[in-house]
Amino acid sequence: MTAKTFTKSLKGEAASDATEPARLAALSDNNDVAVHRAVARNPRTPPAALERLSHSSDKATREAVTGNPNASAAVLTVIVRRTPSLRGCLPLASI
């Protein structure tokens, strides 16, 4: 299996609704930004993993966290403080 194929496989696993929260937490520690983005979008991702991803240097990953229903108000606040332009991505209830 090539590195590209392996990354594609991890990205698919991270995006799957069938992936267990514990596995998503483990995938959030992966070094690939595409995997981080998929984990951040997955509604089964646990809050602690979203908190880690909220500190990503990748703006698209932080934006994906803002759309995740498991992202806490504290995590959303951290993201908006770091990247004010993402405020418009927040759910209305958290503003």
* 29/10 Cα distance (integer angstroms): 12
Q: What is the pLDDT of residue 63?
A: 93
Average pLDDT value for residue range 8-22:
96
Q: What is the pLDDT of residue 91?
A: 67
At 19, list the tokens: 């992936």
Q: Summarize pLDDT for 37-95 with one digit per residue, the tens.
A: 999 999 999 999 999 999 999 999 999 999 999 999 999 998 988 888 888 877 654 54
Other beta carbons within 10 angstroms of residue 77's beta carbon come to 13
Q: What is the pLDDT of residue 31?
A: 92
**What is the count of structural domains for the chain?**
1
**Domain containing 58: what range?**
3-94
Reported as half-sphere exposure (CB side, CA atoms, 13 A), residue 42 has a value of: 30
Q: What is the pLDDT of residue 3?
A: 72
* 93/4 Cα distance (integer angstroms): 39
* 38/10 Cα distance (integer angstroms): 9
